[in-house]
Amino acid sequence: MWNYQLYANDQALLKKFGKYSLIAGIIFAVIGILAIVYPLYAALATAAFVSWVMVLAGVVAGYFTFITDKKDWWGWLKAFVLIGVGLLILFYPISGVETVGLLLAIYLLLDGFGSFALASLRKPAKGWWLWTLNGIISILLAIIFLVSWPFVPAEMWLIGIYVGISLLVDGLVLIFLGTGAEKIAHDETNTN
């Protein structure tokens, strides 16, 4: 998805990648800026989003346990735990922010290492340093969060800032990649 050079032989796909990367990049950047400006609302929105995803995952797990093996108590346990934790985060969002904050720190660590992997794949090409910068920022944010955990007011502020910075940087990277893909598609069209 992120490596548009794989599509270099397909001009139509390259143009689509460029267009949709620009759109997604702008949306990510705007949401990131809003999260940075309003970090407490961003933290609560993140907690609510995670809680609904967990509830939905629990319902799906319960449904598949029901239709495949009604006696599978591990399947039922997984479904009830997902639904229970999701509802706890939803009904107690301040306490849920601690859980979401820890999950976010883990996500940021994974995002950072993933960004380093993408940077190594793109290193000869332009823009590899943006993925490296994204990885460094994600890992630094995760470390800062883990050091401040579980102080709730700091967590709420940090979650909003973390989500905002991560989305803003990802948005800028997507905008950069989208303009690069469109430039390559435009140059290839003009040379043919």
Rounded CA separation 141/121 (Å): 23
What residues make up the domain containing 130?
23-181
Instruction: Kindly report, residue by residue over 132-155, the tens digit of the pLDDT.
Output: 888 898 898 888 888 887 777 777
53 pLDDT above the threshold of 90: yes
Average pLDDT, the chain: 83
Residue 68, domain member (yes or no): yes
Rounded CA separation 179/47 (Å): 33
Between 4 and 191, residue with greater pLDDT: 191
Residue 192, domain member (yes or no): no
Instruction: Kindly report, residue by residue over 70-124, the tens digit of the pLDDT.
Output: 888 898 999 999 999 999 988 988 878 887 778 778 888 998 888 888 888 777 6
The structural domain count of the chain equals: 1
29 pLDDT above the threshold of 90: yes
The token pair that represents 106 in the structure block:
């883990």
Residue 172, domain member (yes or no): yes
ω into residue 150 within 30 of 0, thus cis? yes
Q: What per-residue confidence (pLDDT) applies to 80?
A: 94
Other CB atoms within 10 Å distance of the CB of residue 163: 26
Residue 111, domain member (yes or no): yes
Q: What per-residue confidence (pLDDT) applies to 12?
A: 74
Q: What per-residue confidence (pLDDT) applies to 71?
A: 87
The CA-to-CA distance between both ends of the chain, in Å, stands at: 26
Q: What per-residue confidence (pLDDT) applies to 7?
A: 52
In this structure, what are the phi and psi dihedrals at residue 157, rounded to the nearest 5 degrees? Answer: -65, -45
Q: What per-residue confidence (pLDDT) applies to 187?
A: 61
